[in-house]
Amino acid sequence: IAIKHIEKESLTVFADNFMLKTVIRNLVSNAIKFTQRNGEITLETTLLDSEIIFTVSDNGVGIAPDDLKRIWSLTEKIQYKGTEGEVGTGFGLL
């Protein structure tokens, strides 16, 4: 898996260092977990108005459009063939 970072300019964010690292670690971990061998993961930081946008994208299995509205639910777990039994932090996207 190739990981590339796109940073158009140097950015500074004032945030909880531990929480920010935890969120980024979880996003990158999920991207690695669900990207096929020889796949690519891209990390990008951009400034939009006064907000820093951090994007993690990959060419992994993705999430079906019908499931996108369910990813924020505390009670539902979405699984795809080949992802059953995957271990994570248990935090999901929340």
How does pLDDT run across 44-73, given as a tens digit for each residue?
Answer: 999 999 899 999 999 988 888 888 888 777
- In the numeric block, the tokens 């795809």 are attached to 80
Class of the domain covering 2-62 = alpha beta
Report pTM. 0.70
Give CA–CA dist 56/37, Å, rounded: 17
Q: Where are the domains of the chain?
A: 2-62
Average pLDDT taken over every residue of the chain? 83
Q: pLDDT value at position 84?
A: 57
Q: Is the pLDDT of residue 5 over 50?
A: yes
Q: pLDDT value at position 71?
A: 76
Q: For the residues of 62-87, what is the DSSP string, one character each?
A: ---HHHHTTTT-SS-----TT-TT--
Position 80, amino acid: Y
Q: pLDDT value at position 44?
A: 96
